[in-house]
Chain A
Amino acid sequence: MPEKNGGSEEGRSSGPRPFWSGTLAFGLVSVPVRLFSASRSSGPSLRMVADDGTPLSQRYVCPREEEPVSADEIVRGYEIGDGEWITVTDEELESLEPEKAREIDLRRFVPLSELDPAFFDRAYFLVPAEGATKAYRLLVSVMEETERAGIATFVMRGREHLVAILAEDGFLRAETMRFHDEVRTAETVGLPDPHEVDDKTTARLMRAIEKRSRASIDREELEDTQARALESLVARKRKKGKDVVDLPEDAREDPSGTRIVDLIEVLKRSLAEEEDTRETDGGGSGGGDKEREGKDGDGARATEGSASGDLEGRTRAELYERAKSLEIPGRSSMSKKELVEALERAS
C-alpha cells in the first residue's frame, strides 16, 4: 500500500510526456495546450540494497505483534487524541478530489511585479497544440507587452493548483504557486524589523556588493558538483567491474527514462510538430493536414505513433513491454539499444 498523504505526489517523474493537456481559456478563446515540466531531476536516486546488491523491498510491521501486516489489513488513520485515531478510506479521499477539469481559465491578469517568487513551486512550459499557435502567440505578445501575468486555478492529478501564467521569450509558462498559508511571513518566523543603521556600515557592504557584481550568471557555479562526483565514482567502478551486479529482470526500475531523455529535445520535437501544421484560427481542430508531412518528417512526433523513429525516446520498460507483446526472444537480457534494434527488425 503506497503512502498517501493529503499532499500532492506529482513531480516524481520528469519524463517526456506532457504532465497535463487541456485548454487555456482567455475569455471565450480557448487555446489547446500541453504542459511540460521546466525542470527535471538531476540524476537517478540511489536504491537501498543489501550487501550483495539485492534491492531491498519494504513491508509494514505491527509493532505490537512484531508481525508483518498485509496490504488488506492496513488503514489510513489520523490521530485525534492520545492513541485515539479516526480512519479514512481511499474512496473517501477520492471523493474529495476536485472533478477532473481540462481547463485553465484566465479570469484575472495582474502586474508581474505583484508576483512573489517565494510562492513559486514548480514551473511548466505551455506548448500550443495543433492549430492553436496563433491564439497562443497573441496571448504571449499581449502579456509581454503589458507585463501582466494570468492567475487561475486548475486541476492536475486530483489536486487543485493555484497557478500564475507568465509570458517570457515567446512562451507561456505556468508556475504553480504555494497557497498563502504555506508561506510564512517574516513576522510569523519572528524576524525583527531591520533598524536604522549607520551609513558607514551600509556603504562598506555596498562596496563589497559592487566589487562582486557581474553582468551575467555563470553556469559552472550552478553545476551539481556532488552529483557529478557520484557519476564519476560510478563510472570508475563500472570500468573496473568492482561491485557491479546483475539485476534480475523483475527488480529493475529502469532509470533510463529520466536519465537519457533530453527534455529540450522533446520540447523541440513537440514544437516542430506545430511548425509543420498550417496555422488556423484558435480552437479549431482541422486544417494543416497538407503540410503535415513537411520538413521534419519522422521523429516529429515525440509522444505517440508507431514509426520506428520514436522508439529511441521510450524507456526501456516501455520497449520491453512492446517486445513482450511481439514475443521477441531474448528480450529480457537486451539493453535498451538492442531492444530498439530488435523492435525495428520486427516491425
Chain B
Amino acid sequence: MAARAMWKGVLDLDEGIPVKLYSAVEDRKVHFRLLHEKDHVPLRREMINPVTGEAVAYQEAKRGWETEDGRLVVLAEDELESLEPEPSRTIEVLRFVEPGTLSHLWYDRPYYLGPDGHDEAWSALAEALRRTGREGVVRWVMRKKPYVGALRLHGNVPMLLTLRHAGQVVEASNLDAPSGRELEEREMDMARKLLQMLEGTFDPEEWEDTYQARVRELVEAKATGRTISLREYKKRRDEGESLEKALEASLQQAGGRRSA
C-alpha cells in the first residue's frame, strides 16, 4: 500500500526538482480511547476556565508564556501569526558537506523524498548524491513551521532527515571525556578479543517491540473472549570482580558459548 505524501515542493539546485515528502516512520503502537465506563461512549476532551467553569473552544483559547518568576505573558493570535514563516514550496539548499560532518545527534525524523510527476530529475538527483557522496543541509517551510534538514541517500533513494535546532543538541566535543592512566595493552587485547567473539550483524527484523506485541496480544485475546496468562520475564545478573578477571572469565564464557 503506497503512502500518502504529506507535502510537496521543489528542491532548488540551480534547477527545480519537483518532489513529494513521505514520512518514513509509522506509528505502530496500540492506542486506546477513553470511554465512559457505564455505556462505553468515547469521551470528548474539553478545556474549561477553572475560575468561571465555562468551556473554552480551542480556537478561542489564547496562548501564554510562563516566566520563571511565576507570571504569564498572554499572546494574541495575530502576534503568534506574525512569527510564522512566509509560506513557501521551495526546499532551499544551504550547503553540502562530507558525510560525518553533521553528527547523527542532529537527526530528528526521517522523510522519504519521492518524485512529483516525472522522475527524470529526481533520478538524476539520486545519482548525483550517490556519485558525490555528499550530504546537504536544506531548509523549507511545512505546516507553518520552518525546518532544517539533512538531504542524503537512503539505499538508492533521497531522504530528508529533519534536524534538531542549535541549543537542543549536546555535543560530546564540548565535554571533557573521562580520562585517567593509560590503558594497559593486556586489557586492551582481551577487550578486543571479547568484542570479536561477540561480533555479528545488525538485522532490524530480529528485534521485536515485545511490549507492543503483548499489548496487541491482550487486545486480541479480549476481542475473542479468550483469557491469557501473564508471563514471567527473567532477568540476568552478572557480577564482575576486577576488570582483568572479569575480562578473562568473559572470554572463557564467550568461547564456550560459541563452541557449544
Q: Does B38 contact A (CB under 8 A)?
A: yes
The answer to whether B63 and A267 touch across the interface, beta carbons within 8 angstroms, is no
**1/0 contact trace for A244-268 toward B, CB 8 Å?**
1111010011111001100110011
What is the distance, in angstroms, from B11's C-beta to the closest C-beta of chain A?
10
What is the distance, in angstroms, from A29's C-beta to the closest C-beta of chain B?
4
Q: How far is the CA of A275 from the CA of B103 in the complex (A)?
A: 27
Q: How far is the CA of A164 from the CA of B200 in the complex (A)?
A: 13
Closest to A169 in B: B172
The answer to whether A73 and B121 touch across the interface, beta carbons within 8 angstroms, is no
Closest to A237 in B: B73
The number of residues on chain A lying at the interface, defined by a beta carbon within 8 Å of a beta carbon of chain B, is 185
* 9-residue interface stretch from A136-144, A290-298, A305-313, A322-330: A136-144
Q: Does B173 contact A (CB under 8 A)?
A: yes
The answer to whether B132 and A120 touch across the interface, beta carbons within 8 angstroms, is no
Which chain B residues numbered 33 to 84 have a C-beta less than 8 Å away from chain A? 33-52, 56, 61-76, 79-80, 82-84
List the 4 shortest-distance A-B pairs measured between CB atoms, nearest first: A27-B250, A170-B177, A190-B2, A180-B204
On chain B, which size bracket covers the interface?
Answer: 35 or more
Known: A74-B35, A78-B30, A115-B202. A243 touches B207 (CB 8 A): no
Determine the chain B residues whose CB is within 8 A of the CB of A115 once the complex forms: 202
Known: A93-B215, A135-B243. A125 touches B157 (CB 8 A): no
Q: Does B259 contact A (CB under 8 A)?
A: no
The answer to whether B178 and A86 touch across the interface, beta carbons within 8 angstroms, is no
The answer to whether B207 and A179 touch across the interface, beta carbons within 8 angstroms, is yes
Q: Does A215 contact B (CB under 8 A)?
A: yes
Q: Does B142 contact A (CB under 8 A)?
A: no
Determine the chain A residues whose CB is within 8 A of the CB of B85 once the complex forms: 225-226
For chain A, what secondary structure do more than half of its interface residues adopt (helix, strand, loop), or is it mixed?
Answer: mixed
Q: Does A347 contact B (CB under 8 A)?
A: no
What is the distance, in angstroms, from A84's C-beta to the closest C-beta of chain B?
8
Determine the chain B residues whose CB is within 8 A of the CB of A51 once the complex forms: 62, 74
Determine the chain B residues whose CB is within 8 A of the CB of A301 once the complex forms: none
The interface centre, meaning the residue of A58, A118, A139 with most chain B CB atoms within 10 A of its CB, is: A118
The answer to whether B96 and A64 touch across the interface, beta carbons within 8 angstroms, is no
Closest to B35 in A: A77
Which chain B residues numbered 204 to 220 have a C-beta less than 8 Å away from chain A? 204-205, 207-212, 214-215, 218-219
Q: Does A183 contact B (CB under 8 A)?
A: yes
A and B contact pairs by CB, cutoff 8 A, 15 listed: A38-B105, A42-B167, A50-B61, A53-B64, A55-B64, A76-B34, A86-B223, A118-B154, A133-B179, A141-B188, A181-B28, A218-B95, A234-B67, A246-B70, A282-B242
